[in-house]
Amino acid sequence: MNVNQHCLFEINSEKADIEAVREDLRLEYRFLDLRNNKIHNSILLRSKIMKTIRDKMDEMGFAEIQTPILANSSPEGARDFLVPSRLHPGEFLCITTGSTTI
């Protein structure tokens, strides 16, 4: 990054107020959310919870099998993979792509 370029948000401040960044910029530059302590701590907490669950299940003899996660659709990133519902004709389930399940 060229430090002489005009920036859309503060990058040099140790205490940059990430919450002051406009939402449209945060959505375009998703990495900005990692500077938000609340979101950063939520990511770390989710990681610890998932590790604890995996460790406990492993101790109990369960095998982890990767399966798609059905989640709410997200406007950014890749398009969702839609799966027709067999139980509800005309309706679809959404399998998100990437890591949008934070």
How many whole angstroms separate alpha carbon 45 and alpha carbon 35?
16
pLDDT bucket at 102, cuts 50 / 70 / 90: very low
**Main-chain phi, psi angles of 48, to 5 degrees:** -65, -40
- Please return the burial class of 94, using the count of CB atoms within 10 Å of its CB with bins 0-12, 13-18 and 19+: middle
Instruction: Report which of 81, 76, 75, 78 is spatially closest to residue 93, judged by C-alpha positions.
Output: 81
Closest CA to 98 of 78, 83, 76: 78
* pLDDT tens per residue across span 11-69: 555 555 566 677 787 778 777 777 778 888 999 999 999 999 999 999 999 998 887 66
- For the full predicted model, state whether its pTM sits above 0.85: no
